[in-house]
Structures are given as C-alpha cells and as structure tokens.
Structure 1
Amino acid sequence: MKTKMSLNRNRDNDGTAREPLLGEESPIHLGNVWTPTPKYTKYSKLANQTDSPVRFDYDSDIMSVQDKMLSSQNDQLQVISNSVGSLKTVSKQIGIELDEQAVMLDDLNTELENADSKLDSTIKKVAKVLHMNNDRRQWMAIAILIGLLVIILILFVII
C-alpha cells in the first residue's frame, strides 16, 4: 500500500504525467504563465486584458452607466437648486414680515406704556377718593358732583 502511494506521489511531481493533458504548446513548457502561446486555440490565454475584444464593450458599458449616473445626479442637483431658490425667496419674505412685525410690536409697546401710566394715575386718584377718612368729605364730594351734574343738565336744556 505504501509503495502504491509513493508511486502516485512521484507521478504527481513528475511534469510528464500532465503532458498529455496540456499538449506541446502549453505555457508551462514556455516557462512563463503570462506569455501567449504561438497558436491561438479555442482555450488559449491572451497576453493581457487590453488584447481582449470584450474589454472595449465593457469600457463602453461602464461609460454609459457613468453617463446615466451623471445625468441622474445633475437632475437631482437641479431639483435641489430649485428647492434652495424657493427656500431663499420664502426666507426673504419671512425676514420682511418679521421686520414689519417688530415695528408693530414697538408701537404697541409704546401705546401700552402710555395706557399703563394713565391707568396708574387714575387708580391713585380713585384710591385717594376711597380712602377719605371723614364721611363729611365724602358727602361734600358727592354734593359737589351732583351740583355739577345739575348745572350740566340745565345747560343742555337751555341750549
């Protein structure tokens, strides 16, 4: 058994055992795997990829795919550009509106401050009237106000 295995091993190491399969024109006989065989048979290797007739179709296919991708990206960039332009217009309008609103708010703030100061002075006057300690003063103020009311009514009736 050992002898049969050693014979098979020796036969595998022997280059002549493969000779009938590869033939005389094999690249193994020439010593360099990348050198072309003198005759181009059905299964012969080409020297390099540039000699391959399939390469040109492959390159043109790649170029067409890249052109399609480039045009698709250009279309997408155009859509993005249009969107950015629209956003720019909208943002300018928002800025103008904010400026107008700021002016309106400043005017409203001024009016509120004026109304607040008038309201404070009126509240102080009402508090002064309400805090009169003497009933006599209150009745006197009521009598004066009634007298003024009567005078105003008489003036309206006469005129």
Structure 2
Amino acid sequence: MIERGLALSVAVASLLVTVGCSAGTDAAACPSPSPAPAAESALMPEGLAFDQVGTVTHVVSSDGHVTVQAVTDKPIDEVTVLIQDAVTAAGYRPAGMDNEGFEAEVFFTAGDYAAGQALVRRSDCEGRWDVELVLVEPGTVPTTSPSPS
C-alpha cells in the first residue's frame, strides 16, 4: 500500500513538473529585451529600420551576410508584414511568405538573386516572438543579370 502511495505521489509530482515546463514562461516574469549596442545596430543595411517590428537585440555581419535578431510582442500576422515593409525600405524585394501560425518565414530577393530570409518563432516568453533576419549585404549582390554567351 505504501508503494502504491509513493508511486502515485511520484506520478503527480512529475505531472506537475511537466505542466509547469510546457506552459511557457509568464510574460511578467520575462525581462524586457535589451537593445543591441549602437555599434552593432550600425551594421544594419542602410534604410533597414526595425522600429515598427520590435527591439533589435543583436546584429552581426559576417561573410557578406548581416544577421539581425529581434524580439517583438506583436501578433505574428502583423509582424511578418512589418518585416516585409522594413526590408523593402532597405532596397530588397519581397519574394514570398510562409506563415503557419506558430512560425513564419519571409523571403527576399535583390535583382535576380535570393537575398535573405526572416524567421519568426515563438519566444520562451508568452506573447513574444523571436525574429532572425539574414540578408546578403547590399554590396555583395550583382546589380545585373549575367549576359547570355
């Protein structure tokens, strides 16, 4: 009888732990995102502003690509359009979008070339979304199509 009571107690405890872990983190317990330092923000392509999207938390430039990470509390349907507008203002063209409700991707071109993608995913903090935008740096994309031989 004691073994059955112990087993029941262990089962209830593990259920509570599982529910607590899968319920997400309370938004009130999540700190406000820290903005990227000015030196990092300066790496963003000219004309690209995420003011309407959310808080830019990190920017890195490497091997002809710039990666912008941000956090937003706007609904995913709205944030995908805002990302598209922000990247278009920097001279890229929208090339499609895939929004599954829990994750979304927005694609961009420059001329005839695939030039970037934004990925929006649920954050660990309830009501927030993590954004990762990777773009080919403007100076690395050929401006014209190759001519036929």
**TM-score higher than 0.5 here?**
no
Structure (1/2) with the larger helix percentage: 1
TM-score tier by shorter-chain length is: under 0.3
Tell me which of the two structures has the higher relative contact order, counting C-alpha pairs closer than 8 angstroms and 6 or more residues apart. Answer: 2
